[in-house]
């Protein structure tokens, strides 16, 4: 239910914007005498604002570092996973995350073919590790996590109306005190989750009237750092119960090649709506509304 509210609000906003564009249609035709040519990007020295909603699932994650820290009555100890332990995890368990992000992007067109942007939003971030038929561990954001990042894009006419466009993105997500769902009765004392990804996209776009279809390929590198501490009930040699603390510190990394397709529709000279999907990993859908200033 939590993910439906941003979508409902977004759809209502689009309906309002579409109605406004119909009332300004005559003015847009006068300002743009060739409606068959759609602007692929804002004009030089102009700004744009893009509210959007994005769902992402990424599964190609591998455990690259892991350390257990123990606080026992006799002192503090640590256990660092060796390469064979990491290989054992990666061969027998799965790792993935899902996120639903409601955000807003602000951009500036520095030159006709080069733009920069920054964005931020709130996301529900669900991370799964130790996935198997017998066990799955979840780290779920109890409250919306903060996600932010930035990017640059470059585009160039290739042949007639055919345009090539490249995009570079970087993203951070910080989830303080996420809830931990473990298959045990251990008491969770604290938790922390951070993620980052880098992406590079290359696409071809060809305008068809007010529609702008495009398709391309991309490459991403993804990083997850999860830390959580639990209190474990144990029994000493004399049969007395006591508590010790164990902290699990894990680093995950993954990379993937993917394809994507998208479609943008110009509502008027200063606004457009778009839908973009990527596959197979990350599996992502992005719905946004561009306002050019």
Q: Please state the three-class secondary structure of 72-129 as a single string.
A: ECCEEEEEECCHHHHHHHHHHCEEEEEEEEEEEEEEEEEECCEEEEEEEEEEEEEEEE
pTM above 0.75, yes or no: yes
**What's the CA gap between 103 and 10, in Å, rounded?**
11
167/233: higher pLDDT: 167
Q: Is 8 helix (H, G, I), strand (E, B) or coil?
A: helix
What DSSP character marks residue 137? E
The per-residue pLDDT of the chain, averaged, comes to 85
How far is the first Cα of the chain from the last one, in angstroms, to the nearest whole number? 34
How many whole angstroms from its chain centre is CA 5? 19
pLDDT at residue 3, rounded to an integer: 43
Over residues 246-288, the pLDDT tens digits come to 999 999 999 999 999 999 999 988 899 999 999 999 999 999 9
**More confident of the two residues 158 and 23:** 158
Q: Indicate the number of domains in the chain.
A: 1
pLDDT > 80? residue 146? yes
Q: 10: domain range?
A: 4-292
Residue 268 DSSP class? E
29 pLDDT tier (thresholds 50, 70, 90): very low
Please, are residues 256 and 282 in contact by the beta-carbon 8 Å criterion? yes
pLDDT value at 6 more than 60: no
Using CB atoms within 10 Å of the CB of residue 114, give its burial: 0 to 12 exposed, 13 to 18 middle, 19+ buried.
middle
Give the three-class secondary structure for 27.
Answer: helix
In percent, the amount of the chain with pLDDT more than 70 equals: 84
Compute the average pLDDT of residues 34-49. 64
* pLDDT of the residue at 41: 53
The predicted model gives 67-87 an average pLDDT of: 93
DSSP class of residue 9 equals H
204-260, pLDDT tens digit by residue?
Answer: 999 999 999 999 999 999 999 999 898 887 777 777 777 889 999 999 999 999 999
What pLDDT score does 69 carry? Answer: 96
Q: Is the pLDDT of residue 27 over 80?
A: no
**Position 186 pLDDT exceeds 80:** no
Q: By C-alpha distance, which of 163, 164, 165 is closest to 208?
A: 163
What pLDDT was estimated at residue 183? 62
pLDDT mean over 26-30:
33
pLDDT of residue 233: 78
pLDDT for 143 equals: 81
| Angle (nearest 5°) at CA 17 between 201 and 123 | 50
Residue 185 has a pLDDT of 67
- In sign, the C-alpha dihedral spanning 141, 144, 149, 154 is positive
Q: Domain of 200: which CATH number? A: 2.40.160.20
Would the pLDDT of 32 be above 50?
Answer: no
Position with higher pLDDT, 190 vs 22: 190
Taking the C-alpha atoms of residue 58 and residue 96, their distance in angstroms, rounded to an integer, is 6
Greatest Cα pair distance, the chain, in angstroms, is 90
Q: Is the pLDDT of residue 167 over 70?
A: yes
Contacts with 275 (C-beta within 8 Å, 6 or more apart), sequence order: 262, 263, 285, 286, 287
């Amino acid at each position: 239910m939590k993910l439906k509210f941003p979508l409902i609000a977004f759809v209502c906003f689009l309906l309002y914007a579409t109605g406004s564009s119909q009332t300004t249609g005559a003015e847009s035709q006068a300002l743009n005498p060739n409606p068959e040519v759609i602007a692929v990007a804002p004009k030089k020295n102009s700004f744009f604002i893009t509210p959007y909603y994005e769902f992402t699932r990424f599964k190609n994650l591998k455990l690259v570092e892991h350390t257990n820290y123990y606080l026992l009555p006799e002192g503090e100890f640590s256990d660092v996973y060796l390469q064979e332990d990491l290989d054992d995890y990666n061969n027998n368990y799965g790792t993935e995350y899902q996120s639903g992000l409601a955000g807003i992007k602000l951009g500036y067109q520095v030159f006709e073919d080069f733009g920069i942007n920054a964005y931020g939003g709130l996301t529900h971030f669900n991370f799964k590790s130790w996935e198997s038929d017998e066990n799955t561990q979840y780290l779920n954001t109890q409250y919306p996590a903060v996600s932010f990042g930035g990017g640059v894009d470059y585009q160039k006419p290739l042949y007639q109306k055919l345009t090539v466009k490249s995009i570079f993105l970087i993203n951070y997500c910080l989830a303080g005190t996420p809830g931990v769902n473990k298959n045990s009765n251990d008491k969770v004392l604290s938790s922390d989750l951070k993620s980052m990804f880098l992406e590079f996209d290359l696409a071809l776009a060809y305008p068809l009237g007010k529609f702008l279809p495009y398709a391309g390929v991309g490459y991403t590198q993804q990083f997850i750092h999860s830390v959580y501490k639990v209190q474990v009930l144990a029994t000493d040699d004399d049969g007395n119960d006591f508590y010790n603390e164990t902290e699990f510190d894990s680093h995950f990394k993954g990379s993937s090649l993917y394809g994507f397709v998208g479609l943008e529709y110009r509502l008027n000279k200063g606004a457009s709506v778009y839908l973009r999907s990527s596959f197979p990993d990350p599996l992502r859908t992005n719905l946004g509304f561009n306002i050019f200033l």
